[in-house]
Amino acid sequence: MTVFVKGKDAFSFAFKQFTDTVYRIALHNTANFSDAEDVTQEVFIKLLESNKAFHDSEHLKAWLIRVTINLCRDKMKKSSRETLVENVLPYNRGEEKTDVLEAVKALPEKYRNAVYLHYYEGYTAKEIGKILDAKENTVLSWLSRGRDALRKELDGGFDDE
């Protein structure tokens, strides 16, 4: 297999190309900006430490996405243990959301990331399945349930057109 980038090169490449992607995913999966920033930084530290070789930029991107989601999960677990009170009502649950971003963030983790990867990053269900380690059909059902949930929450729904 071809080695596209590795170590410090992979870091520089990822920093230029994918910092925003990592930050956006982090923001989708954490409670606040400061946590998202912490996670983003941790992802890059992980990248440096792993010294992993990547076949192409897609390989690198997929790795970053997976690591970001995992680190966010760790972060949320930790912060829910540390600050129970703060996390009771993180997303104004119950009210009709005017902010589409808040609505997406309020979705269960799987739906949320599938929606982000499909609608923003343009991945197909099959590709998302590969990144998140799930079957294509599972991803399709996450997407449709996510869409349904958003339609209920948002004025005008969340349609493909």
Closest distance to other proteins from the beta carbon of 81 (Å) = 25
CB nearer to other proteins: give 123 or 158: 158
Closest distance to other proteins from the beta carbon of 73 (Å) = 19
CB nearer to other proteins: give 40 or 131: 40
Phi, psi (degrees; rounded to nearest 5) at 101 = -65, -45
CB nearer to other proteins: give 1 or 88: 1
Phi, psi (degrees; rounded to nearest 5) at 15 = -60, -45
Closest distance to other proteins from the beta carbon of 25 (Å) = 10
Query: Are the beta carbons of 2 and 55 closer than 8 angstroms?
Result: yes
- Interacting residues toward other proteins by CB under 8 A: 1-4, 7-9, 11-12, 15, 19-20, 22-24, 27, 37, 40-41, 44-45, 48-49, 51, 99-101, 104, 115-116, 119-120, 154-161
* Closest to 125 measured CA to CA, from 148, 100, 153, 145: 145
Closest distance to other proteins from the beta carbon of 83 (Å) = 22
Phi, psi (degrees; rounded to nearest 5) at 61 = -65, -45
Closest distance to other proteins from the beta carbon of 116 (Å) = 7
Residue with token string 């230029």: 16
Long-range contacts of 10-13 (CB under 8 A, 24+ apart): 10/47, 10/52, 10/53, 10/54, 10/60, 11/44, 11/47, 11/48, 13/57, 13/60
CB nearer to other proteins: give 48 or 135: 48
CB nearer to other proteins: give 22 or 132: 22
